[in-house]
Amino acid sequence: MPIENKYKITKKTLNVAGKLLDLSTPRVMGVLNITPDSFYEGSRFDVSADMLQKAYQMVEEGATFIDVGGYSTRPNAADVPESVELERVLPVVELLKKHLPDAIVSIDTFRANVARQAVEAGAGVINDVSGGTLDADMFDTVAKLGVPYVLMHLRGNPQTMAQLNHYQDLTAEVIQELQAQLYKLQQLGAKDIVVDPGFGFAKNIDQNFEMLNQLEAFELLERPVLVGISRKSMIWRTLQIEAAEALNGTSVLNTVALLKGAAILRVHDVRQATEAIKLVQQLKNK
């Protein structure tokens, strides 16, 4: 597939609870993992004052979204029963809506029932790492709820995805697979959809860099693009460091993603992502 820097995203807004969110300036999604085994220790929290303080900090530093997850999707992560996931995330969603009513809470789940209950508890966005492939009810649920949906590319599941990274034409195939899912959503009437190429999900390190280099191609889908590369192994393995040391590398690659059209950055470190957005916007305005 020839990649040319000529594509234009036609949709620059999301309808969140009846309010239009402008994405012409990129936004930040802060990660709040309510799990004991997220790959980055700094993003793990119990339901406590520390968690709420971290959420406050994210908002103060510029986060538009707080992404709450109760199921670790790192490679080879253990499966978590739905009941446990619900016990982890619902109190947090309710707490955030009570104390940070202006923040948009995103529920990071591939389960339709978890998504539905989280939205009923106050979540405004569904962030599905499986892109509807792991729960047959997800797309119907998204359409009925009428909330924005992040459609991520994944093959397999967190336990099997590392073995499913064989592509003839990586970027073209990822776009085609996202397009097939996007069509299903559109047929059901879902409107506010964000696409996520799925860095690290059924892609190895070299493939992640290839896809980032060709990120402009995802504008063919005519949807805002979310990029989640924060502190991932494509950074720390390449630099031969640990995830805890990968903030500078994250900022570098987030800057590349912004220059190539990313509309949302999903990150563990909000202030640095907000600064990257401000600097890139200043550059683009000249």
Catalytic residues: 232, 266
Most distant CA atoms of the chain, gap in Å: 51
Strands 19-22 and 13-16: antiparallel
Cα 76 to Cα 159: distance, rounded to the nearest angstrom: 4
Cβ contacts of residue 64 below 8 Å, gap of 6+?
21, 27, 28, 29, 103, 104
Cα 261 to Cα 5: distance, rounded to the nearest angstrom: 10
Could you tell me which residues are beta bridge partners of residue 113?
none
> What's the DSSP call for residue 240?
T
Task: Write the burial class of residue 113 (CB in 10 Å: 0-12 exposed, 13-18 middle, 19+ buried).
Answer: middle
* Contact (CB, 8 A) for 93 and 114: no
Q: SS3 for 105?
A: strand
Dihedral of the alpha carbons of 256, 245, 200, 30, in degrees to the nearest 10: -70
CB 220: neighbour CB atoms within 10 A?
Answer: 17
Q: Which two tokens mark 137? A: 């009810």
Q: Which two tokens mark 219? A: 């504008």
Cα 244 to Cα 145: distance, rounded to the nearest angstrom: 37
Cα 285 to Cα 282: distance, rounded to the nearest angstrom: 5
For 151, the enclosing helix (H) or strand (E) is: strand 149-152
